[in-house]
Amino acid sequence: MFNDLGRMGKYLGQAARMLVGMPDYDTYVAHMRERHPDQAPMTYEAFFRERQEARYGGGKGRPIRCC
């Protein structure tokens, strides 16, 4: 029972972070290790910057937007 509650808490926390735009670096690193072992994962700073640009715009010739 507690194992299921812990897993549910993990997924709820991950969903909440996604809703507010906070990227989940640990999930990204696990994905890279499992699916792309030949590629080095980005640093946390690079990952965070890339996720911000993807969400809010800016970079690569795109205008910066607030919403």
Q: What is the pLDDT of residues 9-65, one digit of tens each?
A: 777 877 777 676 666 888 899 999 999 999 999 999 999 888 888 777 765 665 655
Output the pTM of the full model: 0.57
For residues 46 and 49, give the distance between their C-alpha atoms in angstroms, rounded to a whole number: 5
Instruction: Tell how far CA 19 is from the center of its chain.
Output: 11
b vs e for 1-11, b when ≥16 Cβ sit within 10 Å of the residue's Cβ? eeeeeeeeeee
What is the predicted pLDDT for the residue at 50? 87
Segments making up each domain of the chain, as ranges = 24-67
pLDDT value at 4 more than 80? yes
> What is the predicted pLDDT for the residue at 29?
93
Q: Are 56 and 66 in contact (CB under 8 A)?
A: yes
